[in-house]
C-alpha cells in the first residue's frame, strides 16, 4: 500500500454518486422537510485501481432549491387557501391557485391607489398665497378679462391677496379666482368710508338669485399697515376690527377677520394680534441692510415666531414677503433677479411645513407705484412672475 500511495500522480476522480433508493419518493406534503442522500466517493490511482472510499450525507438537491422558492400550501377545502410569503418578498403575497372562497367577485373594479399627502408631488406654489394688484401702469383699472388672464398665470397658488375694494376688484378677483378654485384674501386698504366699505364683500359674492357664497374668502383684512404708516392708532384699528367682525358675522361670513401691519408694529402692539383671528404681519428681509437673500426665509420665520410668542402663542401669518429684482442696494441687501430667486426659494424652504402661513410678494411688477426715500427705487420691481 505504501508503494501504491507513492505511485499516485495526484489525479483523483470521483467515480460516482449513489443516492439511496426512495429519496425522491417523499410525499408532497413533506417537501418542506429537509431530505438527504448518501454520497459515496471512490478514489482511484492512474491505473483505475481503487485505493479508498468515502461516504457523505448531503441535503438533497430538491430540498436545497426549495429554500429559495415560495412555500407551497395545501389547499384547505373548508375555506380560502392562505397566501404564502416567500423569503425576501417584501411582504408581497404569492397568489394562490384558484379564486379564494367567500370573497366577493368584482371583475371590473380595481382598488384605488392610496393618496399621498406629501409635498413631494405638489406644485412648488401649492398652499402658498401670493399678493396681487389689478392696476395698469397708468393706474387705470383692469377689466374682468385682464384680471382673468393675470390669474391664469398664477393659478398654482392656493390663495391670492388683494388690498382694497376700488376698481371693483373684490368682484373681478373673486370671479377669476373661482375659475381656478383659489381663495381670496380680501381687505379694505384703510378706514376711509368705514364701515360702509365692508359692503363690497357681500356684493361680490351674491349671485343673481340673491344667494351668497362666502367660502371664496380666505380672510378679510381691516387695513394694511395703518399703524406703521401713522394713519391710525393701534386703538383705532383694534376697534375697527371688532366692528368689522360683528358686521360681517351678521351678514353670514364666518372666516378670519384680521388687521395687517408690519412685524415690528405687531411686536410693539400685541393688541393687534389679540383682536385679530390670527396675527397678520408683513415682513421683508430686504429692508434690513444686514440681510442676504438666502436668509430671507429664516428671517421671516423668526419674526413670525417672535410675534406669536408675544401674543401668547397665537398663530402668525406672514402676509407679505419677497425681494426686489431691480432698484438700489440697501446696504448688503442688493436687488437683482438672482437675489430675488434665492430669496423666494429661501422663503418657500423655510415655510415648507407652514405653507398656509406665507403670502409671497408679489405676483407682477407694480409699475403704477411711486418710490420714496424708504423704498430704494425698488417699489415697482418686486414681481415674482415678471412685468405686465
So which residues are the catalytic ones? Answer: 320
In what helix (H) or strand (E) does residue 268 lie, and over which residues does it extend? helix 263-268
DSSP codes of every residue in 297-357: HHHHHHHHHHHHHHTTT--EEEEEEE--SSS--BTTB---HHHHHHHHHHHHHHTGGGGGG
- Please give the C-alpha separations between residue 347 and each of 143, 174, 283, 343, 366, in angstroms, as whole numbers: 32, 26, 11, 6, 21
Say which residue the cell 410668542 belongs to.
309
Question: Strands (DSSP E) along the chain, which ranges?
Answer: 36-44, 50-59, 129-131, 159-161, 183-188, 217-224, 257-262, 279-282, 316-322, 358-361
Q: Within a 10 A sphere around the Cβ of 255, how many other Cβ atoms?
A: 17
The CA distance from 128 to 80, in Å, is 50
Q: Within a 10 A sphere around the Cβ of 384, how many other Cβ atoms?
A: 21
Amino acid at each position: 500500500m505504501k508503494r501504491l500511495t507513492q505511485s499516485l500522480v495526484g489525479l483523483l476522480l470521483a467515480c460516482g454518486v449513489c443516492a439511496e433508493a426512495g429519496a425522491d419518493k417523499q410525499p408532497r406534503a413533506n417537501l418542506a422537510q429537509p431530505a438527504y442522500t448518501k454520497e459515496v466517493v471512490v478514489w482511484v490511482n492512474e491505473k483505475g485501481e481503487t485505493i479508498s472510499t468515502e461516504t457523505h450525507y448531503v441535503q438533497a438537491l430538491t430540498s436545497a432549491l426549495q429554500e429559495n422558492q415560495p412555500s407551497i400550501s395545501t389547499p384547505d377545502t373548508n375555506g380560502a387557501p392562505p397566501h404564502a410569503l416567500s423569503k425576501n418578498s417584501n411582504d408581497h403575497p404569492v397568489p394562490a391557485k384558484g379564486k379564494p372562497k367567500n370573497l366577493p367577485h368584482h371583475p371590473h373594479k380595481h382598488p384605488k391607489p392610496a393618496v399621498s399627502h406629501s409635498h413631494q408631488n405638489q406644485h412648488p406654489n401649492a398652499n402658498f398665497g401670493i399678493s396681487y394688484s389689478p392696476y395698469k401702469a397708468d393706474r387705470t383699472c383692469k377689466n374682468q378679462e385682464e384680471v382673468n388672464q393675470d390669474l391664469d398665470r398664477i393659478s398654482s397658488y392656493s390663495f391670492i391677496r388683494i388690498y382694497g375694494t376700488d376698481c371693483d376688484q373684490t368682484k373681478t378677483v373673486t370671479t377669476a379666482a373661482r375659475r381656478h378654485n383659489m381663495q381670496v384674501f380680501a381687505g379694505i386698504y384703510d378706514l376711509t368710508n368705514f364701515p360702509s366699505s365692508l359692503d363690497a364683500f357681500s356684493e361680490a359674492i351674491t349671485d343673481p338669485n340673491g344667494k351668497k357664497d362666502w367660502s371664496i374668502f380666505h380672510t378679510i383684512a381691516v387695513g394694511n399697515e395703518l399703524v406703521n404708516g401713522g394713519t391710525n392708532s393701534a386703538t383705532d384699528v383694534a376697534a375697527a376690527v371688532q366692528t368689522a367682525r360683528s358686521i360681517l358675522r351678521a351678514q353670514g361670513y364666518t372666516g378670519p377677520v384680521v388687521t395687517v401691519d408690519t412685524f415690528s408694529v405687531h411686536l410693539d402692539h400685541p393688541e393687534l394680534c389679540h383682536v385679530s383671528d390670527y396675527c397678520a404681519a408683513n415682513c421683508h428681509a430686504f429692508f434690513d441692510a444686514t440681510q442676504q437673500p438666502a436668509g430671507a426665509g429664516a428671517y421671516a420665520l423668526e419674526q413670525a415666531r417672535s410675534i406669536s410668542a408675544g401674543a401668547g402663542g397665537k398663530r402668525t401669518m406672514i402676509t407679505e414677503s419677497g425681494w426686489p429684482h431691480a432698484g438700489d442696494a440697501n446696504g448688503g441687501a442688493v436687488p437683482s433677479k438672482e437675489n430675488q430667486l434665492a430669496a423666494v426659494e429661501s422663503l418657500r424652504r423655510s415655510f415648507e411645513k407652514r405653507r398656509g402661513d406665507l403670502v409671497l410678494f408679489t405676483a407682477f411688477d407694480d409699475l403704477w407705484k411711486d418710490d420714496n426715500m424708504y423704498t430704494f427705487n425698488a417699489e415697482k420691481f418686486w414681481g415674482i412672475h415678471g412685468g405686465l
